[in-house]
Structure 1
Amino acid sequence: MREAVAQALAQLGADWADVAAVASITLKSDEVGLLALCAAQGWAPQFYPPEQLAQVAVPNPSETVRRYTGTPSVSEAAALLAAGRPSELLALRLEKHRFKGADGRNATVSVAELPAQVPSPGAHFSAEDRLRLHAVLAARRDVRHFRPGSHIAPEVRARLLQALMLAPSVGLMQPWQFVRVTAPARREALAALVEAERQRTAEALGERAAEFLRLKVEGVRECAELWVAVLAPEDGTVFGRRTLPREMALCSVACAVQNLWLASRAENLGLGWVSMFEPTEVAALLRLAPGALPLGLLCIGPVDAFYDRPMLEQEQWRQRRPLHDFLIEDEPHECA
């Protein structure tokens, strides 16, 4: 058992001191190897009945395990319960590490991550916190140049997903879906759709066509992760959107993307929102549900450098406008 846990921790780059809790099924509450390891490390093991473990959704359920224990998962479910995150599959840092000891006995270890320690929603933030937030806001860029062949660690991906799920939405409708594209052929097909629209856009730009075609407008092939932001099918929410149903749903999805964008920048990852595609073609390629609308291909990943200024500004395509162009204040005589 000790060697199995050691190997699992090594895979994660973790140490024995990082372990906060150990858990298993009640059937193993008298297992000598487990109890000896816990005693040596000063851990107080927790044991869950099979009925409770069976209620936890896991990525690798097993009918064989169910026949012997009464639950389709022991290690994964116990890890999630011990971490206090039974409904968060992304909390699993290591799904199933199987180990066979010299005595011929098998051990399976799963590792879940404890929730991040975040300030209470009612907390007051410091001036330093404020400066850091504004630094991230100012450093955010719509990125098109990624480091080919790079990857995003599962724990970082989990933090990004958590960030987008914290986004506000009108009537708490959360009208978003995100499709993670992992198949190379599907990524290539999306890149082809973007290129077709790029050519159509150039034709529509007239005299600026050649200038436009010199710009790099996407990183679909090079980015580490490719996600598609989707407006989910209508769910009938009325609260807050009776007069603007479509508009409020779109704004809510945009809030989730902005959260993801800022969280990516805080992880020193670039994100580019690509909207050059025919929505019906992307929906068909991804086999989206009727009524679902793809809004953006989100290219995410490590970059060699972030742009000093927005890329379109650097390339002299367009310049930012000043604040006074956007701020309108009521004149005193116009107030009721």
Structure 2
Amino acid sequence: MKVALGIGCDRGTPLVTLARAVDEALAVAGLQRGQVTGVGSITLKADETGLLALAAQAGWPLHFYPATQLAEVVVPNPSETVRRHTGSPSVSEAAALLAAGTTEASALCIEKHRLRGDDGRNATVSVARVMPRAAIPPCVANTDPARCFTAAEREAVQSLMQVRRDMRHFTAGAQVAEDVRARLQAALLAAPSVGLMQPLRVLRITDPALRERLAATVDEERMRTAQAMGPRAAEFLALKVEGVRECAELWALVLAPDDGTLFGRRTLASEMAWCSAGAAVQNLWLAARAENLGLGWVSLFEPGDLRRLLSLPVGAAPLGLLCIGPVDRFYETPMLIQQQWRQARPVSAVFTENSWEPSWNTGSCATPEHLPLG
């Protein structure tokens, strides 16, 4: 029998504790390490050195899943405490099932084996029987094999998307190498664009005085936004926005004046221009994270102020300031979740079939901005 492991642990849990917890769980199930095909955990643990070392030492593929995906898996032992810390009521059980290729709780051989290490840090291991996994579809005929992605590459892309963060804190005084900047520019230009209109223009801000004026504009709007937040003003102001002054690279995003493109946008002209610009930024965001650089999209400004500071022509619209550069550390979860400002929606709250879901009519979010946090 082949099995997959799901592992949850405290931050900084050492390799020795994780290895012992795994071996104990396998022994209880009458299994050996050689029967393990892979390990699953939450994306929060993607930088956990003990977990990475365990997988590398044993030669096990390591799969990370976002909290929203783990939360969709029905498990025998959900925990409200785990949900508060991770965004999912289960880590080890749900991750074991997903790594085993199933969401059937009956596949669990060991539901939860817990171990408290000598240093007080905890590890939890779940074991699930591996189910047949659907093969990645082969490439179509006449496609260069080099253009076909392997399962490992697919996992890497999925992991990249899950650890992308909107960063607000950067390493002051750092720089981005010219070759890295060129790769970021190429990623932005490779994005999909309706009618190949590519409406986005980027102004790289290299003038320190201009950067400071832009930062002051952001500060002014930040205070106006706080006033509009009412009872949540103090919480909003606690979400620091230092990137404009600290980041290595500051890029201003501008939507160019309409060029008259009709292909694909005759009935949705402005909407498709905005969507094309957003797709380009997402490409850039993922490319930056793959370079281990942070990126933050700042939209706290009066558009008229940016038009004036950047000398934009009539018809051009400022979309934001992109802060790019090295960071001291990436947020374990999106900052707004970390600060309990909002919670991400689960898959079931976004996808339906054939017609509108009536429960969406309220337009509410998981944690409405106008309500105090309890």
Map Cα deviations across residues 270-309 of structure 1 (whole Å, 9 max, x no partner): 0000000011110110111221111010000000100000
Answer yes or no: is 1:193 the counterpart of 2:217: yes
Q: What secondary structure does 1:238 align onto?
A: coil
Q: Distance in 2 between matches of 1:123 and 1:152?
A: 29
Verify the 8 A CA contact 1:229 1:257 in the aligned structure 2.
no
Q: CA deviation at 1:120?
A: 5.7
8 A contact 2:169–2:241 mirrored in 1:
no
Amino acid of the structure 2 residue aligned with 1:140:
R
Taking the TM superposition and a 5 Å limit, the aligned residue runs for 1:178-327 are 178-327=202-351
Q: Is the 8 A contact 1:218 1:274 kept in 2?
A: no
Partner of 1:167: 191
**TM-score, normalising length: structure 2:** 0.56
Residues in 2 aligned to 1:315 and 1:121: alpha-carbon distance in whole angstroms: 45
Checking the alignment, whether the CA contact within 8 Å between 2:254 and 2:319 is kept in structure 1 is: yes
- Deviation string for 1:65-102 (max 9, x for gaps)? xxxxxxxxxxxxxxxxxxxxxxxxxxxxxxxxxxxxxx
**How many pairs does the alignment contain?**
213
Q: Secondary structure at the match of 2:251?
A: strand
**Structure 1 moving runs of 4+ over 3 Å:** 119-122
- Equivalent residues of 1:219, 1:272 under 8 A apart: yes
| 8 A Cα contact 1:179 1:227, kept in partner | yes
Q: Residue 188 of structure 1: CA displacement? A: 0.3
Q: Residue deviations 1:105-136, cap 9 Å, x none?
A: xxxxxxxxxxxxxx969822111110111111
Maintained 8 Å contact 1:279/1:294: yes
Query: What does residue 158 of structure 1 align with?
Result: 182
Q: Distance in 2 between matches of 1:224 and 1:260?
A: 15
**In the alignment, residue 161 of structure 1 is paired with which amino acid?**
Q
In the TM superposition, 1:98-177 aligns within 5 A as 123-177=147-201
> How many Å separate the matches in 1 of 2:341 and 2:253?
26
CA distance in 2 between counterparts of 1:317 and 1:217 reads: 15
Quick check: 156-165 or 282-291, which moved more?
Answer: 282-291
The one-letter code of the counterpart of 1:169 is S
Given that 1:218 and 1:272 are in contact with CA atoms closer than 8 Å, whether structure 2 keeps it comes out as no
Aligned-residue offset at 1:169:
0.4
3-state DSSP of counterpart to 1:246: helix
**How far 1:259 sits from its partner (Å)?**
0.5
| Distance (Å, rounded) in 1 between the aligned partners of 2:282 and 2:305 | 25
The structure with the largest alpha-carbon Rg is 1
Structure 2: stretches of 5+ with no match in the other structure: 1-142, 356-374
Amino acid in structure 2 at the alignment position of 1:231: L
